A and B are shown apart, each in its own frame.
Chain A
Amino acid sequence: MAQLPLFSPTLASACSVTDLTRYLRDLLESDELLQDVWVQGEISNFSRPASGHLYFTIKDKGASLRCVMWRNNALRLAAMPRDGEAIEAHGVISIYEVGGQYQLYADLIRSAGEGALYQQFLRLKARLEAEGLFAPERKRPIPPWPQSLGIVTSPTGAALRDILHTLQRRYPLLQVYLAPTSVQGDDAPPGIVAALQALNQRVQPDVILLARGGGSIEDLWAFNDERVARAIAASSAPVICGVGHETDFTIADFVADLRAPTPTAAAELATPDQLELREAVQGLSERLERSMQSNLNATRWSFSALHHRFQQQSPRTRLQTGRQHLDELSHRAILGMLHSQQLHKAQLTALQHRLAALSPQGVLQRGYAIVATPAGQIVHSTQQAHPGDALTVQVSDGAFPVRVDNSSKLPNNG
């Protein structure tokens, strides 16, 4: 062994324990292997004081290793380790200077079988992925409104209760078919396969939920089984896988047409929400009323236009028009009549004047007189008048009698 400078005999004084311990610590912490190590063994002297940090020893037949796990890492453990439990712990090797002890500062603890299972998981995942079982183009769409839904899960688990509550709340129109199976243990994989096949062959649901509540990785192991993976791929109905918690990924999740983080989420992804359905109906009802209203308005409008045109053609309107025409005509007739009356009157007056001018009366008024015999014969000629004859002389305002003078020498008589 090469001499270390710390122990050089040429140094005048010995080094301090602290210096030595720091030196050892640096030495351990500079070793890559020791800074990323898995150790397996059995837990003993487990303690968990109020600080929340975990202190324990991992031992096997030949040796033991002091371990500490800080509180923040301890909080992430799915299950608390117990004394006597075979585990694998991951962390870094360093030195607790005060106690002068090297120890494992653990950040992960898993049960002993888990590592092998995980390797198995990775190998199967890689193989099925290479086969194309996880390919996005293999994923079938989930029907938006399934009428029937199959559930593959344990009939007694919390997962089934959560799923049924969610379905009743969101989409109670569903017909649900439960294909019960155990979801944990050696009989779970063939049970799940049989349930998937029974649903597809006997009731052909629109969609299938494959579900299980949370648990340890061993509890969920049936969902990493190749037979289950192939049954999901072979299902006629699309499969939604909701296994464990959000952080759990199984082979079934990768093969399924849709992965849900939990059973409840699987039920939600499989169904529409009835509130949305009610809103859709409400929206359609409103559109129905609006379009009926606008249809009625259009009809009413074209009716009133037509009605207006019709009224123009009605007998009453025609009558009114005729009446108006008549009024106009009679007005014109009256006017015409008045006019012609005046015309006639003027003509009449003129005629009367002419007549008056021709009347003997007019002549009499100018001073002439008419002489007539008592027999009424007008005396035109001296021949008709004999001395002593009584005659009548008519003048303008009356008549008086005259007698022809006896001494008269009438020209025609003499």
Chain B
Amino acid sequence: MSTPLSNLPPIDSLTYEQALAELETLVGSLESEQQTLTEAIALFERGQALAQHCVSLLDQAELKVQQLTSSGLTDFTPAE
């Protein structure tokens, strides 16, 4: 992978789509390219963290609903 790992954004700041897209690229490069062992281990660890991040985003996600009003946005709680 061309970007040095140290230049990548912190995983906590990634959205689900960003994390999954990076994971896909990372797995692809780990599968196809020759890295040094150190690089491979760093990629592997980042990959695991990305996968874990994706899963925990899904686990913790609560639909955020906001309503457009004339003055701005307000949280919307649907009536059950």
Contact = CB atoms under 8 A, between A and B. Distances in A.
Contacts of B35: 295
B7 to A, nearest CB: 20
Contacts of B15: 147, 173
Interface string A270-297: 0000100110110011011001100110
A168 B63 contact: yes
A195 B23 CA distance: 38
A176 B51 CA distance: 25
B68 A203 contact: yes
Contact of B66 (A176, A277, A292, A299): A176
A129 to B, nearest CB: 32
Contact of A278 (B17, B24, B48, B58): B58
Given A172-B62, A280-B20, A160 B78 contact: yes
Contacts of B44: 288, 292
A198 to B, nearest CB: 5
A24 interface: no
B15 to A, nearest CB: 7
B63 A145 contact: no
Interface residues of B, number: 35
B23 A281 contact: yes
A249 interface: no
Contacts of A292: 30, 40-41, 44
Nearest to A164: B78
B67 interface: yes
Contacts of A309: none
Dominant SS among interface residues on chain B:
helix
A369 interface: no
A344 interface: no
Contacts of A147: 15, 17
Given A173-B16, A281-B55, A178 B65 contact: yes
A172 B63 contact: yes
Nearest to A168: B63
Interface string B29-60: 01100010100110010011001001101100
B8 interface: no
B65 A281 contact: no
A176 B64 contact: yes
Contacts of B47: 284-285, 288
A405 B51 CA distance: 138
B68 A288 contact: no
B58 A173 contact: yes
A22 interface: no
Contact of A291 (B27, B61, B65): B27
A145 B44 CA distance: 25
Given A177-B73, A292-B44, A161 B64 contact: no
A155 interface: yes
A312 interface: no
Given A145-B17, A199-B68, A174 B37 contact: no
Nearest to A160: B78
A353 to B, nearest CB: 80
A349 interface: no
Interface string A213-252: 0000000000000000000000000000000000000000
Nearest to A274: B58
Nearest to A181: B68
A175 interface: yes
A109 interface: no
A179 interface: yes
B66 A177 contact: yes
B58 A156 contact: no
B68 A281 contact: no
Contacts of A176: 63-66
Interface of B: 15-17, 20, 23-24, 26-27, 30-31, 35, 37, 40-41, 44, 47-48, 51, 54-55, 57-58, 61-68, 73, 76, 78-80
Interface of A: 145, 147, 155-156, 160-161, 164, 167-168, 172-180, 195, 198-199, 202-203, 274, 277-278, 280-281, 284-285, 287-288, 291-292, 295-296, 299
Given A172-B58, A277-B20, A288-B30, 12 more contacts: A145-B17, A147-B15, A147-B17, A164-B78, A177-B65, A178-B67, A178-B68, A198-B68, A199-B68, A278-B55, A281-B20, A295-B35
